[in-house]
Amino acid sequence: MYNIADVVRLTGGKLIGDFQGTISGFSPLNEATQGSISFYGNNKYLKDFEETKASVVLVDAETVVPPSYQGSTIVVDNVYLTVSKILDMLNPGLDWDEGIAESAMIADSATIGKSASVGHLTIVNKRSTIGSGTQVGDQVYIGIDCEIGKNCILYPGVRILDRSKIGDNVIIHANTVVGADGFGFAPDAEGNLKKVAQVGKVIIEDNVEIGANCAIDRGSLKDTIIRQGVKLDNLIQVAHNVEIGSHTVIAAQTGIAGSTTIGDQCMIGGQVGIVGHLNIAPKTSIQAQSGMIKSVKEENTQWYGYPAIPYKNYLRSYAQFKNLDDLSKRVRELEQKLDKKK
């Protein structure tokens, strides 16, 4: 429970209304009850706003509060960013055991930082380091010569393979594999596929979050690099030698083939496929289920379709495509009329 004054102070917003009680929790508009706080940031949820029982709702300065809502509001500059701040305040954090579990296996040459924790049945191999304040869950595997920074969270089942480097404040969710061999094979004279050694590393910079069940392959000769602030959803494949620019966000089931470079602050939707050896300019937006088969040179452009084309071009083309059946019928009718006149 938090006093409303604490919430207002945290948000830097302005309280409108007479609510002076405590906040019991955060809820969506349609599930909120007395004592809870909610938010309104999209016109699609106007009906929920009209009917909500939330005591306090976060809004921006442009919001027109419906007359039916009888609670209080907090006016803020950025609703969604403020939601994040409040959830951080209300979230009690992980309740993992401190220190190193008895069942953990730590190599003599490994280094575990001050106040770091290591869970049950976790393995930390020789010469690897874990920074102070980092929390490593149960059944995590950390290979040889790995570097894990400060204040990271590695959820249960994560695999960090040899020579991988992870910065500070990185979160990696359950069952993700960092540093598996890239998909590299060369055919010999008889057509047999010979494995090409993958001798690069994976480097993950500060403040990155990686979802569950992702696969981030080590480089073949150069390194696979995920720059600072990148956010990856679940079930994403990052192939060898890929570089993802800072503060790029990528949704689930996207696959990025080898040696592609993605610029800073890109937004990539779910189930996008990106072929290898491309360069994607900064601030590129790619719609879900698109297929990128060529590089993007101009910054701040939008792409859609397979193969992907500029977003507005795709919408115009699709408008024509969905009418092809009617157009085909009209053409046949015109042909029949012409035949009768012959």
Q: What is the mean pLDDT of residues 53-64?
A: 95
pLDDT in tens, 138-161: 999 999 999 999 999 999 999 999
The H-assigned helical ranges of the chain are: 4-11, 46-51, 79-90, 311-321, 324-341
Q: What is the C-alpha to C-alpha distance for residues 181 and 170, in angstroms, rounded to an integer?
A: 22
Indicate whether 341 pLDDT > 80: no
Indicate whether 319 pLDDT > 90: no
Report pLDDT for 73: 96
Per DSSP, the residues of 260-293 read -EE-TT-EE-TT-EE-SS-EE-TT-EE-TT-EE-
Report pLDDT for 333: 84
Report pLDDT for 230: 98
Report pLDDT for 103: 97
Q: Collect all residues with Cβ–Cβ distance below 8 Å to 183 and sequence separation of at least 6.
A: 217, 239, 240, 258
Report pLDDT for 179: 98
Q: Right CATH number for 105-312 from 2.60.40.10, 2.160.10.10, 3.40.50.800, 3.40.630.10?
A: 2.160.10.10
First-to-last alpha carbon distance for the chain, in angstroms, is 86
Q: Which fold has domain 2-90?
A: 3.40.1390
Q: Does 223 or 324 have the greater pLDDT score?
A: 223
| pLDDT level of residue 115 (50, 70, 90 thresholds) | very high
Degrees, nearest 5: CA angle 290-296-299? 110
Report pLDDT for 208: 98
Report pLDDT for 213: 98
Angle between helices 79-90 and 4-11 (to 10 degrees): 130
Report pLDDT for 131: 97
Q: Does 326 or 151 have the greater pLDDT score?
A: 151
pLDDT in tens, 255-312: 999 999 999 999 999 999 999 999 999 999 999 999 999 999 999 999 999 999 999 9
Per cent of the chain over pLDDT 70 is 100
pLDDT in tens, 170-223: 999 999 999 999 999 999 999 999 999 999 999 999 999 999 999 999 999 999
Q: What is the C-alpha to C-alpha distance for residues 282 and 71, in angstroms, rounded to an integer?
A: 43
Question: What does the mean pLDDT of the chain come to?
Answer: 94
Q: Are 177 and 161 in contact (CB under 8 A)?
A: yes
Does the active-site annotation cover 120?
A: no
Report pLDDT for 269: 98
Indicate whether 342 pLDDT > 80: no
Per cent of the chain over pLDDT 90 is 82
Per DSSP, the residues of 85-142 read HHHHHH-----PPSSB-TT-EE-TT-EE-TT-EE-TT-EE-TT-EE-TT-EE-TT-EE
Q: What is the C-alpha to C-alpha distance for residues 7 and 34, in angstroms, rounded to an integer?
A: 16
Indicate whether 68 pLDDT > 90: yes
pLDDT in tens, 70-113: 999 999 999 999 999 888 887 777 788 889 999 999 999 999 99
| pLDDT level of residue 37 (50, 70, 90 thresholds) | very high
